[in-house]
Amino acid sequence: MPSNELARAMALPGLLFDFDGPVCDVFAGLPAPQVAHELKELVASCLPSARVDVEATDDPLVVMSVAYKAGPQLGAEIERALMAAEVAAVAVAGDPTPGAVQSLREARAVGRRVAVVSNNSAECVHAFLERQAIGHYVDHIVGRPSGQPDLMKPEPFSLHKAADLLGLQVSECAMIGDSLTDIQAAHAAGTIVVGYANKPRKRQAFVEAGADCIVDGMDEIASALRP
């Protein structure tokens, strides 16, 4: 039996799924540090003085964000390269997260409105959903705002946009995410948030961050949605 909080979350008319984690392990086949290294090399070739600012990170999204701080043209160049890398990554990412397809299928079966809300590009989300033949379970995709990395989660912008596209108030939606930025964005937006603790250390972090409920597997989401 799902917890009362999980049952309450799954009873809401709108479900917002983070992508990297709950649906797909984006960089399973093309590791994020490798992508970050390639982006850092591009930063150095475009603007050598900016290399020192990105050298310490292995996170491609951080490289992109720092590039935008160095200048909009450099940021746009790095974002284009990141989008191409993300699309390439999901092509070799393997199967969806265990329980993800079942969760999306059950959500559709019981009439929930579903959006994927991601800091990854909408293009890579679409490519993966189509490759896996599960795009028909998703009503809308809200990827990172192009050219505006400051609006990525933990900012609530994408959650508000997703709710609008679903024709719902954001308070009528539940967010399902596997990172602290998902928890923070949901709190800022005013949505119930389900923390997906796909690594043992995440559970306590989600408790401390104030997740409304926590699951260890996406199959728990599917079970909670079944009538």
The residue among 91, 113, 141 that closes a domain is 91
pLDDT of residue 3: 80
Q: Are residues 17 and 37 in the same domain?
A: no
Q: Are residues 66 and 12 in the same domain?
A: no
CATH number at residue 167: 3.40.50.1000
Q: Are residues 118 and 189 in the same domain?
A: yes
Q: Are residues 110 and 62 in the same domain?
A: no
Q: Are residues 98 and 83 in the same domain?
A: no
For the chain, how many structural domains are there in total?
2
Q: Are residues 38 and 140 in the same domain?
A: no
- Tokens read off for 186: 């949901």
The residue among 46, 69, 91 that closes a domain is 91
CA angle at residue 50 from 47 to 53, to 5 degrees? 160
- Whole-angstrom Cα Rg for the chain: 17
Q: Are residues 137 and 190 in the same domain?
A: yes
Q: Are residues 113 and 135 in the same domain?
A: yes
Q: Are residues 135 and 42 in the same domain?
A: no
Q: In terms of residue numbers, what domain contains 67?
A: 32-91
pLDDT in tens, 91-135: 999 999 999 999 999 999 999 999 999 999 999 999 999 999 999
**Tens of pLDDT along the chain (227 residues)?**
468 899 999 999 999 999 999 999 999 999 999 999 999 999 999 988 888 889 989 999 999 999 999 999 999 999 999 999 999 999 999 999 999 999 999 999 999 999 999 999 999 999 999 999 999 999 999 999 999 999 999 999 999 999 999 999 999 999 999 999 999 999 999 999 999 999 999 999 999 999 999 999 999 999 999 98
The residue among 47, 62, 91 that closes a domain is 91
Q: Are residues 158 and 46 in the same domain?
A: no
pLDDT of residue 2: 64
CA–CA distance from 5 to each of 69, 181, 211 (Å)?
40, 20, 10
pLDDT of residue 1: 47
- Tokens read off for 60: 């491609």
pLDDT of residue 37: 96
- Tokens read off for 187: 């709190």
